[in-house]
Amino acid sequence: MKYLSTRDNSLKKSFNEILYQGLSKDGGLYLPVEWPNIDIHNLENKSYEDVALEIIFPFVKENFSKGELQNILNESYSTFSHEKKAPVKELQTNKYILELIYGPTYAFKDYALQFLGKLFSYSLIKNPKKITVLGATSGDTGSAAIHAFKTNQDINVFILHPHGKVSPMQQKQMTTVNEENIFNIAIEGNFDDCQKIVKTLFIDDEIQNKTSLTAINSINWARLIAQVVYYFWSHLQIKNKDINFIVPSGNFGNIFSAYVAKKMGLPINRLHVATNKNDILKSIITHGQMNKKIVSQTFSPSMDIQISSNFERQMFESFDRDSNQVNNAFNEFNKTGSYQFSSSVIDNFKKIYDASSINDDETLDTISKIFKKYNYISDPHTATGFKLLMDKNDDETWVSLACAHPAKFNTAVEKAIGKATDIPIELSNLFDKKENMTILPNNIQEVKNYLLQNI
């Protein structure tokens, strides 16, 4: 499989060449030149890891043997605490939850980042070098990445999070890992500020000359392919139905993986983008308006994003893979702060996606209703999707994704249902541990200096 860039569709990179890179030099994101086709019948009665093997292998086969990939996958998911890894649970007829909370840091990010960690380790054995992981997090990616890379001394990890804007549990999960290769940076700004700093440093020559910078944000293609697996896995558990998926969304990584699954042959009916008050995705999909907006803080911090990086991949697809149009759109967006998609492109978005957004009150109300009706405690991100799941009243099959364990967001849970949820022992142990982080201003030069001093 070769890879092109959303801003240069003539590019033909190998998987190894894009593995450590987030952005292409032209500023675009990588996509495969074509979609492999998967015959679902060949996946039946296989384990999660073996299903993953069939789905991921076509994307990596020039650089990893099937045996290597099998080992990588077995190691990636060995620590997950549910035998099914990503179980589908039935709430009522035709309404299901896909639970993605059984990895080491209790959010869906583990499904991709544990894989990425092992993939890097195998790759570094074959081609030894020191690499620097640089990422921005709205809370869950950071801890998942830190836990995936903490034992690999060939990899230094710098994670930027918005200071004071992640949940206390999310912060503890990141800052209590006392390893020499882990650097937590709290930026005095919001997530979009963190993401912007990271993107700028990725194309900074001085840094590139000193180290091999590696992206672990959801713009990294390898993360997206690991996420494709659980959409197929849901189908295998529910069987014989055109499924509609509801995906709580921020950076558009998780739901884009569902789109990839659809392209690879999974019978998906519609994809529903659920957001909190930060509703840029809703305004793009329903009206074609991409405007720069201010980020609001909500009970679902991992979705407090107004610039959804992975949406560029969908733009490229909806522009019929014409990278000129992607370039033009971003030139205009960067100049004026807004871009209006044409009606034919909006129609294309709408053929695939629906979108909705709910505010904090509705989030709490949904957590409370779900608890009363099903005795199920959902986290606030998951609730943005569950609101829709509750409202659905048709004969179709709906699967809503549970993206994080509610114990990570107990303040909101307690407000909603009057009590906190039980905290898994691995999380409650964190409260006594010493935190390590460096607070820096929202300033690219200062972060760059810190990086140069510490790599």
Ligand X SMILES: *Cc1c(COP(=O)(O)O)cnc(C)c1O
Which residue's CB is nearer to ligand X, number 181 or number 382? 382
Span near ligand X by CB under 6 A; candidates 204-212, 246-254, 291-299, 312-320: 246-254
Q: Check binding of 278 to ligand X (CB under 6 A).
A: no
Q: Check binding of 253 to ligand X (CB under 6 A).
A: yes
Cβ contact 383:417 at 8 Å: no
Which residue's CB is nearer to ligand X, number 183 or number 252? 252
Q: Check binding of 229 to ligand X (CB under 6 A).
A: no
Q: What is the 3-state secondary structure (H, E, C) of 282-349?
A: HHHHHHCEEECCCCCCCCCHHHCCCCCCCHHHHHHHHCCCCHHHHHHHHHHHHHHCEEECCHHHHHHH
Question: Exactly one of 143, 171, 254, 356 binds ligand X (CB under 6 A); which one?
Answer: 254
Question: Exactly one of 285, 404, 413, 447 binds ligand X (CB under 6 A); which one?
Answer: 404
Whether 130 sits among the annotated catalytic residues: the reply is no
Binding to ligand X, residues 18-47 (CB under 6 A): none
Which residue's CB is nearer to ligand X, number 5 or number 310? 310
Span near ligand X by CB under 6 A; candidates 51-59, 200-208, 249-257, 288-296: 249-257
Cβ contact 400:389 at 8 Å: yes
Question: Exactly one of 140, 192, 193, 317 binds ligand X (CB under 6 A); which one?
Answer: 140
Span near ligand X by CB under 6 A; candidates 42-50, 251-259, 350-358, 435-443: 251-259
Interatomic CA distance for residues 220 and 159, integer angstroms: 15
Q: Check binding of 218 to ligand X (CB under 6 A).
A: yes
Question: Exactly one of 251, 318, 323, 363 binds ligand X (CB under 6 A); which one?
Answer: 251
Which residue's CB is nearer to ligand X, number 4 or number 113? 113
Binding to ligand X, residues 105-134 (CB under 6 A): 107, 109
Binding to ligand X, residues 352-371 (CB under 6 A): none
Cβ contact 173:144 at 8 Å: no
Counting Cα atoms < 13 Å in the Cβ hemisphere of 338 gives: 9
If residue 97 lies in a helix (H) or strand (E), which one and from where to where? strand 95-99
Q: Check binding of 378 to ligand X (CB under 6 A).
A: no
Of 172, 169, 119, nearest to 148 by C-alpha is 119
Which residue's CB is nearer to ligand X, number 176 or number 275? 275
Cβ contact 166:136 at 8 Å: no
Interatomic CA distance for residues 42 and 40, integer angstroms: 5
Give the shortest CB-47-to-ligand X separation in angstroms: 25
Binding to ligand X, residues 56-115 (CB under 6 A): 107, 109
**412 phi, psi to nearest 5 deg:** -70, -40
Query: Which amino acid is it at 35?
Result: W
Which residue's CB is nearer to ligand X, number 109 or number 272? 109
Largest CA distance in the chain: 59
Beta-carbon contacts of residue 360 (< 8 Å; ≥ 6 apart): 276, 277, 298, 299
Q: Return the CA Rg of the chain.
A: 20
Give the shortest CB-223-to-ligand X separation in angstroms: 9
Q: Are strands 338-340 and 30-32 parallel, antiparallel or unpaired?
A: unpaired
Length of the chain: 455
Span near ligand X by CB under 6 A; candidates 3-11, 196-204, 242-250, 420-428: 242-250
Instruction: Return the ∠ at Cα 218 (arms to 401 and 426), rounded to 5°.
Output: 60
Question: Exactly one of 19, 383, 403, 417 binds ligand X (CB under 6 A); which one?
Answer: 403
Give the shortest CB-206-to-ligand X separation in angstroms: 29
Span near ligand X by CB under 6 A; candidates 23-31, 125-133, 205-213, 252-260: 252-260
Interatomic CA distance for residues 250 and 109, integer angstroms: 13
Span near ligand X by CB under 6 A; candidates 3-11, 250-258, 333-341, 429-437: 250-258
Give the shortest CB-22-to-ligand X separation in angstroms: 14
Question: Exactly one of 24, 173, 220, 302 binds ligand X (CB under 6 A); which one?
Answer: 302
Q: How many residues contact ligand X, by CB under 6 A?
A: 16
Go through 355-386 and write b for each residue having 16 or more CB atoms within 10 A of its CB, e for each that does not.
bbbbebeebbebbbbbbeebebbbbbbbbbbb
Q: How many CB atoms lie within 10 A of CB 441?
A: 11
Give the shortest CB-65-to-ligand X separation in angstroms: 29
Pinpoint the alpha helices (H) of 82-190. Answer: 109-126, 140-149, 168-175
Catalytic residue, chosen from 95, 109, 118, 408, is 109
Q: Check binding of 381 to ligand X (CB under 6 A).
A: yes
Looking at the annotation, which residues are catalytic? 109
Q: What is the binding site for ligand X (CB under 6 A)?
A: 107, 109, 140, 218, 248-254, 302-303, 381, 403-404
